[in-house]
Amino acid sequence: MENKRLEVFVVGAGVIGLSTAIRALEAGFDVTIFAEIFPGDQKSIKYTSCWAGADHISHATTNDLMHRLERETFSVFMGLLKEDPLIPVMIRPHRRYAQVFQPDDQLKIDHLSKFYSDFRILESSELPDGVVHGATFSTLCFDVPRYLPYLLNRFLALGGRALRTTLPSLSALLSEKDRPTLEVFPATSSDERGPPTFNPAAVINCTGIGARSVGDVLDTDVYPTRGEVLIIRAPWVHSDSTFHWKDGHVSYVIPRQSGDVILGGTFQVDDWHATSRPETVKLLKERGIEAFPELLPPTKRETRNVEDLDVLEECVGLRPTRNGGVRVDTASLTLDVGGKQITIPIVHNYGHGGAGYQSSWGSASLAVDLLESVVNK
């Protein structure tokens, strides 16, 4: 299908926006990303992707769409790891521990056993004290500070264009009168094509948590699920793990290629608080060394003192969750341009909650399939 003459705008430069823009370029579209924040910028609560853990643990037990997106994404990453061993993603063993095992947990275990090919239940001799159930399988761990620039560089290398701006609405991009200031990104870019025509064949909306506030979307079903984590220096930790406490809380560790480890976490619904809370940091540390004593330096594990954790950073991110689940569909936007009514197709791709990385390529492919269906009618 010939798409090379068609210009497409992608709004948002998180993991979903970048992945979708790459897939659109690969499909032959001329793609420009518009975003306020890009990989490499100072961290901001507005930009969820930079705060993510992230690993690939499927929770799509009852959501067929998310299950499909996660499975395709897992397959894509396995292929990328073979093609490019330098990609900042690792295959690591995951261990799931639980202090209690409820009837509902069996649904989750059955799902995981079908999703991950080497899944197995741990023997009782393999369980830590106080744990009644455990499982293990191989999964993916993302080095987020490296993976986001990897995506951006791949997008630019494929011929993509990036412009920094703050958009009050999607339609502001298409209105010369209302269009905000645009800045070429990166500032050193030598793109000789000049600015886009601002007459796109379609706009792809990948605004994440911003879908709640950006004009022409204003999706009140979008809300934050606040996550607070610690970045710990522990290069000796090589396993991805979750620990399900009897009170319902979950602790987890996610190793990165850099030798840093994520220790989480919290899942606080509709909580917009943008900075760490001392009481949460204290709980993360205390539960972290109880569930995962390997976070401590080998010579410090006997005493299990939280002060011996090498904490590099306290982080807070707002997972872009949505009532009804992820939204990957089409709509349209009609506006007056020079006294003439025009209709622009919109492809929405947002609302992934905490599953953005693990569903990114599947979501991107579906969004581009929808894009092709609306621009080639």
pLDDT digits (tens, 9 = 90+) for 37-47: 999 999 999 99
Residue 141 identity: C
Backbone phi, then psi, for 356, in 5-degree steps? Answer: -60, -50
Note the pLDDT of residue 124. 96
Note the pLDDT of residue 179. 85
pLDDT digits (tens, 9 = 90+) for 317-361: 999 999 999 999 999 999 877 778 889 999 999 999 999 999 999
Note the pLDDT of residue 301. 94
> What DSSP character marks residue 215?
B
The sign one gets for the Cα dihedral 287, 289, 290, 294 is: positive
Residue 135 identity: A
Evaluate the omega torsion of the peptide bond into residue 353 and state whether it is cis, within 30 degrees of 0: no
Note the pLDDT of residue 211. 98
> What DSSP character marks residue 55?
B
The sign one gets for the Cα dihedral 69, 74, 79, 84 is: positive
Residue 267 identity: F
pLDDT digits (tens, 9 = 90+) for 126-136: 999 999 999 99
The reply to whether 242 sits in an annotated binding site is no
The reply to whether 49 sits in an annotated binding site is yes
Backbone phi, then psi, for 370, in 5-degree steps? Answer: -65, -40
pTM: 0.96
Rounded Cα gap, residues 66 and 115, in angstroms = 13
The reply to whether 252 sits in an annotated binding site is yes
Which residue ranges form the domains of the chain, and what is each CATH number?
A: 1-88+143-221+323-377 (3.40.50.720), 91-141+223-322 (3.30.9.10)
The reply to whether 58 sits in an annotated binding site is no
Note the pLDDT of residue 336. 75
The reply to whether 48 sits in an annotated binding site is yes
Residue predicted with more confidence, 253 or 61: 253
Rounded Cα gap, residues 324 and 350, in angstroms = 12
Note the pLDDT of residue 150. 97
The residue-averaged pLDDT of 3-21 equals 93
135 C-beta neighbours (distance < 10 Å), count: 19
Mean pLDDT of the chain: 94
Whether the per-residue pLDDT at 66 is higher than 70: the answer is yes
Residue 163 — pLDDT band, cuts 50, 70, 90?
A: very high
Whether the per-residue pLDDT at 188 is higher than 70: the answer is no
Q: Which residue has the tokens 């809380």?
A: 249
The reply to whether 273 sits in an annotated binding site is no
Strands 133-142 and 7-11: unpaired
The residue-averaged pLDDT of 137-150 equals 98
Say if CB 121 and CB 144 are below 8 A apart: no
pLDDT digits (tens, 9 = 90+) for 242-300: 999 999 999 999 999 999 999 998 999 999 999 999 999 999 999 999 999 999 999 99
The reply to whether 197 sits in an annotated binding site is no
The residue-averaged pLDDT of 21-29 equals 98
Say if CB 57 and CB 358 are below 8 A apart: yes
Beta bridge partners of 203: 9, 346
Note the pLDDT of residue 174. 86
Rounded Cα gap, residues 54 and 317, in angstroms = 12
The sign one gets for the Cα dihedral 162, 2, 70, 320 is: positive
Note the pLDDT of residue 250. 97
